[in-house]
Amino acid sequence: MHVALIGASGQLGSDLLPRLQAAGHDVVPLRHAEIEITDGTKVAEVLTPLPLDLVINAAAYNLVDRAEDEPDVAYSVNAFGPRNLARLCEAHGWRLLHLSTDYVFGGAPDPPAQPWTESDVPQPCGGYAISKLAGEHFVQAECSRHFVVRTCGLYGLAALRGAGKGNFVETMLRLGHERRQLRVVDDQRCTPTATADLADALVRLIATDAFGLYHATNSGSLTWCEFAREIFRLANLPVEVAPITTAEFGAKALRPAFSVLDGRKLASVIGGPLPDWHEALARYLDSRDTFV
């Protein structure tokens, strides 16, 4: 397929590019300097001359706390950006793959502790989450051949060269070299996900015509405190991690207490689940050592 990859220098975009190429796709990678998704005219100027079958939108405004102060910027990138892309894709008969977030699930699942499925009703709990949910709705409403894929807590090697806002693993490793004791939130359960694994899954998904909404994370679930402990154990860093509550941490934006996503729908389409989070983390830390 002929593919335009928007957000090509971000964490996910950087892992998608080589995998798309390895799968035989002809890819035009587009960095922020080359396309501004909030500007519908510019988007059309960049994309219309290309021979395309599929547009992938891996670009986003991901600053969850800052979105509380500048919701208009978040909406512009996360809602109106995808709307621009969806309209253009529909007009040209292109497919659109768009990424969204587990943060659309800010409520409590019923029954408790059941991973959220694609048919559960979102209840976003902050400006970032609302802007991403609006983006999903625009894509679903305006582009008939869409894949909307919700994921969680991404970490990819591109963060090592400054892509995006960084990631939790890199933040922990940096802090772990500076301090012997850390306090990490232990009352948010989700599934941090390696962009390498997500990219593999997306390459398999776009090979199908099974358009629609999907949940895609590594398998299993954990708290950020548990994740931090495993990062330090695998990295051989002697850091004591004390559990704290979300309220004690005091971030500006609300975050879901439970945003574990049920990935069975995607697994049935692409032939299996994404790897377990332990395995993904270990592989990331190994590849990071080679990358550095």
Ligand X SMILES: NC(=O)c1ccc[n+]([C@@H]2O[C@H](COP(=O)([O-])OP(=O)(O)OC[C@H]3O[C@@H](n4cnc5c(N)ncnc54)[C@H](OP(=O)(O)O)[C@@H]3O)[C@@H](O)[C@H]2O)c1
In the bound complex, what is the minimum distance in angstroms from residue 75's beta carbon to ligand X?
12
Looking at 61, 75, 128, 155, which residue is catalytic? 128
Cβ distance to ligand X smaller for residue 48 or 240: 48
CB 263 within 8 A of CB 202: no
User: Catalytic site residue 128?
Assistant: yes
What span, in angstroms and rounded, lies between the C-alpha atoms of 70 and 128?
10
Tokens representing 137? 């709705």
Q: Which residue is nearest to ligand X (CB)?
A: 10
Q: Please give the residue ranges that form the binding site for ligand X (CB under 6 A).
A: 7, 9-12, 32, 35-38, 58-62, 77, 81, 99, 101, 132, 151-154, 163-165
Q: List alpha helices for the chain, DSSP H.
A: 11-22, 40-47, 71-75, 81-92, 127-142, 168-178, 195-205, 224-234, 246-249, 264-270, 277-291
∠ CA 38-198-109 to the nearest 5 degrees? Answer: 85
256: Cα within 13 Å, side-chain hemisphere: 27
Cβ distance to ligand X smaller for residue 141 or 242: 141
What span, in angstroms and rounded, lies between the C-alpha atoms of 280 and 155?
10
Q: Which residues pair with 27 in a beta bridge?
A: 3
In the bound complex, what is the minimum distance in angstroms from residue 238's beta carbon to ligand X?
27
In the bound complex, what is the minimum distance in angstroms from residue 154's beta carbon to ligand X?
4
Cβ distance to ligand X smaller for residue 152 or 225: 152
Cβ distance to ligand X smaller for residue 86 or 242: 86
In the bound complex, what is the minimum distance in angstroms from residue 170's beta carbon to ligand X?
11
User: Which residue bears the tokens 């992938």?
Assistant: 56
Cβ distance to ligand X smaller for residue 152 or 270: 152
In the bound complex, what is the minimum distance in angstroms from residue 285's beta carbon to ligand X?
17
CB 125 within 8 A of CB 103: yes
Catalytic annotation, residues: 128
